[in-house]
């Protein structure tokens, strides 16, 4: 999809560092990726993510992913597109992952088909970026205090190293861009803590101990830690 088509139709373009190889052999950066969009061509419907980049020849180009998802084929003798119940041989397709997306892990052809089918069935359940995670809209959560008349408290930030400060700045920018957090002028304040993980990466935590002391305890059941531990090293999950 070219940039002007995405802009004219108010299609959100998600940032991406992917590169593509065009028909003339040139390698270029793309402007971004769209969210899964429904494509309806003569009644053949499916959801496809479009790569957005500068090209003037066409508004939209459909690739092999569309043919795979719809089961359609081009019959030049009849100058038409038909959908067939016969599965097309995998020998008719070539691997385009080099020119489009870099896979997170290597899958054999059978696993790729199963994964593509699963991702198509639950297209709205998979987040391709932090922006797609969204938030719970079932009910707004309120922190109920033990004493409603308690005075607001402000805890000064903890001292951190320059390296931690740089990490914190980068993570905050990422979360702001993804609308996970927003600027606040609240009189309440709890300090940020940079915590190291076993894999030597780091994460941001908030020291809410002072707030927890004046908060009513919610009596909600918590999943057994042993059940959560069983999911360790798993790459794919199926929910029914």
Strands in the chain per DSSP E: 13-14, 19-21, 27-29, 32-34, 37-41, 44-48, 51-52, 72-75, 80-83, 192-196, 202-206
Please give the backbone phi and psi of residue 152, each rounded to the nearest 5 degrees, phi first: -60, 145
pLDDT of 202 reads 93
**Burial group, residue 171, by CB count within 10 angstroms (0-12, 13-18, 19+):** middle
Confidence bin at 32 (pLDDT 50/70/90): confident
- Indicate whether 102 pLDDT > 50: no
> For 231, left (φ over 0), alpha (ψ -120 to 50), or beta?
alpha
pLDDT of 70 reads 77
- Indicate whether 207 pLDDT > 90: yes
From the options 3.10.10.10, 3.40.50.2300, 3.40.50.300, 2.102.10.10, give the CATH code of 162-229. 3.10.10.10
The region of weakest confidence among 78-87, 99-108, 118-127, 169-178 is 78-87
Please give the backbone phi and psi of residue 209, each rounded to the nearest 5 degrees, phi first: -60, -40
Count of residues making up the chain: 240
Coil vs helix vs strand at 82: strand
Instruction: Kindly state the average pLDDT of the residues 170-187.
Output: 90
Is the pTM higher than 0.85? The answer reads no
Confidence bin at 161 (pLDDT 50/70/90): very high
Please give the backbone phi and psi of residue 145, each rounded to the nearest 5 degrees, phi first: -90, 150
Pair type for strands 13-14 and 32-34: antiparallel
pLDDT of 170 reads 94
- Indicate whether 79 pLDDT > 60: no
Instruction: Kindly state the average pLDDT of the residues 67-88.
Output: 58
pLDDT of 203 reads 92
pLDDT per residue as tens digits for the range 18-28: 877 776 667 77
- Indicate whether 205 pLDDT > 60: yes
Query: Which residue ranges does the chain devote to CATH 3.10.10.10?
Result: 162-229
pLDDT per residue as tens digits for the range 116-135: 777 677 767 777 788 888 77
Cβ(237)–Cβ(168) under 8 Å?
no
């Amino acid at each position: 999809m070219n940039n002007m088509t995405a802009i004219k139709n108010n299609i959100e373009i998600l940032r991406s560092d992917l590169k593509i190889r065009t028909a003339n052999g040139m390698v270029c950066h793309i402007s971004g990726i769209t969210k899964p969009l429904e494509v309806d061509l003569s009644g053949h419907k499916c959801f496809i993510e479009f790569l957005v980049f500068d090209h003037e020849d066409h508004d939209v180009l459909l690739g092999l992913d569309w043919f795979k998802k719809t089961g359609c084929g081009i019959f030049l003798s009849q100058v038409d597109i038909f959908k067939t119940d016969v599965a097309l041989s995998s020998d008719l397709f070539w691997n385009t992952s080099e020119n489009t997306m870099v896979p997170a892990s290597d899958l054999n052809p059978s696993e790729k088909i199963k994964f593509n089918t699963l991702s198509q069935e639950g297209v709205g359940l998979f987040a391709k970026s932090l922006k797609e995670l969204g938030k719970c809209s079932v009910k707004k959560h309120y922190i109920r205090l033990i004493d409603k008349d308690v005075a607001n408290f402000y805890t000064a930030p903890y001292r951190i190293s320059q390296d931690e400060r740089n990490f914190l700045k980068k993570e905050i920018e990422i979360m702001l861009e993804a609308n996970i957090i927003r600027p606040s002028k609240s009189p309440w304040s709890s300090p940020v803590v940079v915590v190291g993980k076993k894999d030597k990466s780091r994460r941001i935590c908030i020291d809410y101990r002072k707030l927890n002391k004046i908060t009513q305890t919610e009596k909600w059941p918590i999943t057994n830690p042993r059940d959560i531990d069983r999911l360790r090293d798993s790459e794919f999950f199926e929910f029914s």
